[in-house]
Structure 1
């Protein structure tokens, strides 16, 4: 996802995903002494970015051993192994002996494997093979063998220590993902694993700073994480922090990288289940050693380096009340010792973020109350005006990218009103100005947006409405470019978030908090998804796939709120994809009901809207909604968005009997064509006509408009076209020829009920 571009950005280690919840009291934007941040609407994360980096954190690691484990162990370069390398495959014996053996025979089979990499396929075991290989008594057998093996550990893999360690790692990994099949792990294994780790670290050769030992040590360090024993081995972490320097060879360096997993997951464990916080309190000098690890190796600070990766977690110590006073001066020194942009930004900005998270309203203690103001000019130097009410502030956008972004937003405004209608802005709403902020990629957004704008960064961006009743209020969409789509340029969720701005200004009374007094998320996020996909004429494949599952009733979707489902992915599906489906259905099937609901939203009658949805509508549409999911979504991509604003009906109806023929100023209603077919038309223009305007709209489906001048118009032969999503199309032809001219509605999707009009002057 990042590639070479990663090294061109200002800093590449984003604050971890556990950012402060939206709306918490936190340092203010720009001036960190401020009050709580304005309530804001988060942007859905990119599925592409999530798959490339599940936790949106950028470091030498891309996941965690237990909560988001790699599918296999790592190589010296930190690359995930999902299967045996080709060279290893030829040298490795069949693993059926390992899978089917028990007791001493199992240990013998493991030790007979010619190299550590032969164990890699064990990480992929499922079903009965997983149960046979990794049930608890098997794991206890191998843990005891590792204990005995470690008594004579020679600092290398001469006695197959690595094969034993990797078997245990594979067992914990497979059981974590297949617990029902493998069975539970309890006290016998916990006791045996401690004995094995104790014996290994008691060996003097376990501290050899060599590649031979590092090949084993890096896997044993990961095993600490797998066994959830970080507190017990805090002394090992302290030794590594205190001993590490830039001369460590590759495999030893990798073992230091794996310390990141150990400390990250240890801090996150609920109720200190891994004993890490207790260990820090028992030996506070670990904090001193950790700070020294950073300053002693400061020459290595260079974005994705191991010092930044491991060093940033020092900020978590602020969340240990007994150690807060001890760590504060270290953090103040580190945040201000190195530049906040460039190669050292990952360490300084991450540590700064922890002060916001765990020491709120105390920015003066770290001398960073103006941190956002300091980094703003360097991080977001580009300022561009689209229109008087629409501006862009960007990190790195070309003139062409700025222009295309402006064009997209201005065009979307008209599309939004075509779908929703235009009753004017909510009375008292003075949010006439919007600023779009575009960071170069997610990493830059996560590094700096929290400091500059006082927002959470565990999302794909943030729309902040502010208070629309206050003159001079600045509505702002804070976003980042979709770097994973390059070389295509796209600001992630640009059109989705611009819809929030339009929806807030024209549909939702008051500020964001006001709209949240009852569940309105089904509409707020559903209309944003519909307008975004519709305006860009893109198919919402994820929502269509969800429709086939028929997970929710329509009446249940009216209750949707953020964070409703325990699983974040399930919640994202409900908020965005099912919100899309619910709104699409209501706009298509029950536009009058939607007008009633929006009428109440526009006046701030949240309770009235809620009563209408839950009592007047109630469950009446649930059965039809399920049918619609099965039929319309499966066969017609959930159908098109209906136009709310067909061409003005003040234009008179055409009088001729041939429905193809138009006069200079007339309309025809109810036009239709099936997918792939056409509705052909023509009009006679006398000499002297300066302009011909042809407009279509209303109805359902997707009709594109083509103009052929003196010849029949088709999608392959035309002089002008208008091909938006839906049926709202307009062509303005200057100085058309006299005589018969021809124009056509082409059914990209079958359409019906369309109004087509001509106006000339």
Structure 2
């Protein structure tokens, strides 16, 4: 199947669901080739968990946002919901307009609707599916799109995006419901091609605007849904080549560019695509250029673009005829990236891909033993929480490790009490231990999780059960820290996913595939929500507020599958909570079937024995539960554990800055009481205290948790503050000679204040008090330039800084060789660029033990200078930098052995007339 978009997430976990599944042939009668993955689903579709690890070949490009990793109730893992474009709201959406109209009446109904309303059609089945998406209906919509595409104005005012989304829905529904919809033939293909040809030949579809990006991003997805990947390769290349820094502020334009990687990812399954890319290597170069040109996006919220381009470039290694072209491009990106830097995701992604597509050549790429190297660098921490639980982490304090371990170890006792397991695993379950892997952030999770553990990462964390009946199988939960909650510490989705491990080991016989023999989603996800919320003693407002809508009967909920996030998680929680509270004996009977793998017996018990018997009672319970709350008493929560107070501090003069590091293993710290030892106090979490006089003070912190327990004992530390003595400034500068003129740039510093005055002497009797003076000498020669500076407290640099420079009447060396090549003593003049532009250069230093001076000067605007000794330099990858205001930048690099140095001029704003010089 094609990657479905994750929508369902939970209280403690966004989801345990995978975002990718093995390819499967299209149903009989479907128009799609059997090799092609299913069309991408709606804006809020679900996916079922993966049944086996995903290889590098099967892992899709990263989506355009990390929001799905941060929101308990994310709408979509790969795209945000479309903006409203009509007057109707989703609540007023009448989807019958799509089934009762045909021809141009259907086209007009779609155009007059909204993206949200059209999106509802992805769920059509049966007669609705056939009435909406028969080939005749789809051809009418495609012909309608073709008609309006010719005059497309660059926004959705004519409803073009609605029509494109409807066509996407049709391909999706027909793939999964071919028996209902009927087959699609060559007539639809011809109409669809005519529509997309007309749209993509309208220059307005490539306008750089967020309004246009809404339609463009949908149209790029439609390329893949309709299996036109080869025909529109030129569109992909244009998007990659057109992308510039000005696109970064538009979500829709970024998404359109990012969707092009999906067209490539899935295109490799089609014969015509394979032939097209092997006969024309321009797509390969477009990807390589895109990655190199947008290297500066690493470490930003748009880094996914550069990472996806790098991975999709390496996927072309599967073609023997292209390997001579692709290998050096991939090697160059690998060399330019490294672990534990913003480019780490590229390094491990390319290592994973080259290991799959070009195995045996790791020495060429320099990434042999990449997995062991990555785990050692990225997951260095290991802690045994209990005989059954091992914690591995990227970075945690000792207190954070203890808090994480305590939370799940205590939850285990709560689970066994609530489910009455007698701590007896189901038969043939050898998952006696769980490995909990915690990355530092969602970004790190996406960078490293998939490659290391064979999983998709378009989700909120994942429980990888494996085959519990296989000896040596290692169950694993891969998670990440919720970095957006810092300084508070939280492993995202910890307790929900740990419930899945316990449920799988003690309640559900066999592996996940066996568990899904009959519908068990209501139990699996509902129990994980119920246990997590009850254990944490938290109210599940998102679920409780839905109860009064009476959307489902209990009998209907027994049929839940992974198709709707509210039904899976919120209504699953309500169903399990009701059964645990009102019919605990029936739960025990149900578990007796689940624990021995009698799925037919369990299904019969739910649908025949219980059936609709409790529907009226369930409805009555729904009417009061939002007010009364869920009764969690069937399971004794562990006694509340008091929090542990802790803090760190730093001092500057008489001021002390305090940072709270307190933890609570079974809840959260809710209040802080500071005593500063001089009679003053504070209740701020991270206070700053300025003392009246120097001395040593006893500072005490007492904290309380969300259940009222106080830290005992409080945390006490001695804090010493003193009146700081002024430190003298340090003078420093560099100068560049051009003819008889010496341009000098100040780089002096003051550790505890600021430099306020400059006194220069130039060795010929002249002087200056300018900060960055320019001196023209009367005659050629070598002159000693001396700078003395003073700080804002009146202290002078001691000693002053002196350097000798030679000026002459000769003209500057204008740099031989390539346009990006520098040499000793050369100057490149007249450089210009836009804000965000990067101008790359390099120099080969042929002498050991020299000082390489790199300077920019002159012109207008503001350009910064970045230097890297390991690979191409950028704002996110460099060893040295100079980022003054204006264009006067200087970097001095000590060079101990001959080799290449890489330098980049980066437009902080637009700049022009700039000169770049190198000398050693």
User: Cα–Cα, structure 1 residues 331 and 383, in superposed 2: closer, same or farther, change >3 Å?
Assistant: farther
Alignment match of 2:286 (pick from 284, 290, 295): 290
The 3 A distance-change label for structure 1 pair 555 and 144 is: closer
**Gapped regions of structure 2 (runs ≥ 5):** 1-16, 23-48, 60-65, 86-111, 118-140, 168-187, 224-228, 639-703, 710-920
Does the aligned pair in 1 maintain the 2:314–2:330 contact within 8 Å? no
**1: distance between equivalents of 2:601 and 2:115?**
55
Q: Is the 8 A contact 2:291 2:309 kept in 1?
A: no
The structure 2 residue matched to 1:49, chosen from 59, 63, 70, is 70
Partner secondary structure for residue 377 of structure 1: helix
8 Å contact 1:383–1:393 — kept in the other structure?
yes
Contact 2:68 2:77 (8 Å CA) reproduced: no
Cα distance in 2 for partners of 1:450, 1:141 equals 43
| 8 Å CA contact retained: 1:241, 1:289 | no
CA pair 623-381 structure 1, distance change in 2 beyond 3 A: same
Tell me the residue number matched to 1:448: 448
Answer with 463-472 or 549-558: which moved more.
Answer: 463-472
TM-score, structure 1 normalization: 0.54
8 Å Cα contact 2:526-2:576 kept in structure 1? yes
User: How has the CA–CA distance of structure 1 residues 623 and 303 changed in structure 2, closer, same or farther, with 3 Å as cutoff?
Assistant: same
Residue 413 of structure 1 aligns with which residue?
412
Q: What residue in structure 2 maps to residue 617 of structure 1?
A: 610
- Displacement of 1:51 in angstroms is 8.7
SS in 2 for 1:438: strand
Q: Which residue of 1 aligns with 2:867?
A: none
Q: Which of 579, 585, 590 is 1:597 aligned to?
A: 590
Q: Secondary structure at the match of 2:545?
A: helix
Q: Does 1:326 align with 2:322?
A: yes
Q: Which residue of structure 1 aligns with residue 628 of structure 2?
A: 636
Shift of 1:145: 7.0
| Separation in structure 2 between the aligned mates of residue 282 and residue 511 of structure 1, nearest angstrom | 41
Pair 170,594 (structure 1): closer, same or farther in 2 beyond 3 Å: same
From 160, 178, 198, give the equivalent of 1:172: 160
Contact preservation (8 Å) 1:17, 1:457: yes
Shift of 1:546: 3.1
Q: Compared with structure 1, are the counterparts of its residues 199 and 277 closer, same or farther at alpha carbon in structure 2 (3 Å cutoff)?
A: same
Quote how far apart the aligned CAs of 1:533 are: 0.1
Matched, 1:503 2:524: no
2:257 corresponds to 1:260: yes
**Could you tell me whether the CA contact under 8 Å between 1:428 and 1:469 is conserved in 2?**
yes
Identify the residue that residue 182 of structure 1 maps to in structure 2: none
Q: Check conservation: 1:225, 1:265, Cα contact below 8 A.
A: no
CA root-mean-square deviation: 5.4
* Corresponding residue for residue 381 of structure 2: 382
Matches within 5 A, 1:18-167: 19-21=20-22, 22-23=49-50, 26=53, 49-50=70-71, 55-56=76-77, 63=79, 68-69=81-82, 164-165=153-154, 167=155
Q: Distance in 2 between matches of 1:305 and 1:126?
A: 26
Q: After superposition, give the CA deviation of every residue in 1:178-213 in whole Å (9 maximum; x if it has no partner).
A: 99xxxxx99999979966864749xxxx9xxxxxxx
CA distance change for structure 1 residues 590 and 409 in 2, over 3 Å: closer, same or farther?
Answer: same
Pairing 1:558–2:558 present: yes
Change (3 A) 1:502 1:331: farther
| Cα contact 1:419–1:645 (8 A) shared by 2 | yes
Could you say which structure has the higher helix fraction?
1
Q: How far did residue 352 of structure 1 move?
A: 5.9
Give yes or no for contact 2:520–2:558 (8 Å, CA) kept in 1. yes
In the alignment, structure 1 residue 577 sits paired with structure 2 residue 570: yes
For structure 1, which runs of at least 5 residues remain unmatched after alignment?
1-15, 38-44, 58-62, 73-121, 128-134, 147-163, 180-184, 207-213, 648-720, 730-761
Tell me the CA shift for residue 227 of structure 1. 5.1
Alignment of structure 1 residues 409-558 onto 2, 5 Å: 409-426=408-425, 429-468=429-468, 473-558=473-558
1:219-258 equivalence runs, <5 A = 225=217, 234-235=233-234, 238=237, 250=246
Bigger Cα displacement from structure 2, 343-352 vs 391-400: 343-352
Q: Cα distance, 1:531 vs. partner?
A: 0.8
Q: Does 368-377 or 169-178 show the bigger shift? A: 169-178
Give distance in 1, aligned partners of 2:296 and 2:348: 17
Q: Cα–Cα, structure 1 residues 324 and 454, in superposed 2: closer, same or farther, change >3 Å?
A: same
Higher-RCO chain (CA-CA 8 Å, sequence separation at least 6) = 1
Aligned match of 2:402? 403
Supply the distance in 1 between the matched residues of 2:149 and 2:514 (Cα, whole angstroms): 58
Measured after TM superposition, the shift of residue 462 of structure 1 is: 1.7
Contact 1:218 1:252 in 2 (8 A): no
Q: Secondary structure at the match of 2:595?
A: helix
Per-residue deviation at 1:336?
4.1
Distance of 1:295 and 1:523 partners within structure 2:
45
> 1:189 & 1:173 partners in 2: Cα distance?
14
Q: CA deviation at 1:171?
A: 4.4
Mark the CA change 1:355 to 1:53 in structure 2 (over 3 Å): closer, same or farther.
farther
Q: Secondary structure at the match of 2:546?
A: helix
Please state if 1:627 is matched with 2:627.
no
SS in 1 for 2:488: coil
Higher mean alpha-carbon deviation, 224-233 vs 619-628, is at 224-233
Q: TM-score, normalised by structure 2?
A: 0.46
Give the secondary structure class of the aligned counterpart of 1:289: helix
